[in-house]
A and B are shown apart, each in its own frame.
Chain A
Amino acid sequence: DARVTQTPRHKVTEMGQEVTMRCQPILGHNTVFWYRQTMMQGLELLAYFRNRAPLDDSGMPKDRFSAEMPDATLATLKIQPSEPRDSAVYFCASVGQGVPEAFFGQGTRLTVV
């Protein structure tokens, strides 16, 4: 059963701490997206990669957010230092060749206190 796996599912952290969210895309999918969901903004695209190369990260606050794909099976999203306004659900999604739709992970619910 192919699926996108995100860890952790929930994270509560104190303001100023580093947060790392991980995503394992579906094996063979070469395009990986990071989205942030909030009540006010809906689903915002933060960054995405094709074949591990970053294509666009213009949706990310550059001073505190970073996204990487150390290898084809792992994408990471880091926030350092975290702030209360970063509280949201962060989704990872992947797309494969020949399949139009994106497959989503279950999301990481981040709460910064």
Chain B
Amino acid sequence: AQKITQTQPGMFVQEKEAVTLDCTYDTSDPSYGLFWYKQPSSGEMIFLIYQGSYDQQNATEGRYSLNFQKARKSANLVISASQLGDSAMYFCAMREYRDDKIIFGKGTRLHILP
């Protein structure tokens, strides 16, 4: 069965530091995708970054990068040079392509300190 685990319910990080949000997953489907979404206090769900299971290189989008370790089944989000506006809830998600189901982890609440 699909499963997404985010082990950090909350994190506090000093502004301008890099931060790593952990995500591990479990699936038997060889074809899948991994995502990170940001949910600020306004409640909207903002797509950040995507990694396909067959992608050879780690995905990057501006200050966001996804540290994909396939053998360990981990897909950690790295935010470089954190900003106050990065304070939000972050969700890891997985899509299995055999049935297109997308499931989410429970999220990590990130607080950036000035």
Contacts and interface: CB of A to CB of B under 8 A. Distances in A.
Given A50-B100, A100-B35, A100-B52, A43 B95 contact: no
Contacts of A104: 37, 44-45
A41 B99 contact: no
Contact of B50 (A31, A35, A101, A103): A101
Contacts of B99: 55-56
A65 B77 CA distance: 35
Given A89-B43, A102-B102, A106-B43, A43 B35 contact: no
Given A56-B99, A104-B44, A106-B44, A41 B106 contact: yes
A41 B6 CA distance: 12
Interface in B16-36: 33, 35
Interface residues of A, number: 23
A42 B102 contact: no
Interface string B63-91: 00000000000000000000000000001
A55 B44 contact: no
Interface in B91-114: 91, 93, 95, 99-107
B47 interface: yes
B100 A31 contact: yes
Interface of A: 31, 33, 35, 41-43, 45, 48, 50, 55-56, 89, 91, 93, 95, 100-104, 106-107, 109
A100 B33 contact: yes
B50 A100 contact: yes
A100 B95 contact: yes
A9 to B, nearest CB: 10
Contacts of A41: 106
B43 A107 contact: yes
A103 B45 CA distance: 8
13 contacts: A33-B102, A35-B104, A42-B104, A45-B101, A45-B102, A50-B100, A55-B100, A95-B100, A95-B102, A100-B35, A100-B52, A101-B35, A102-B93
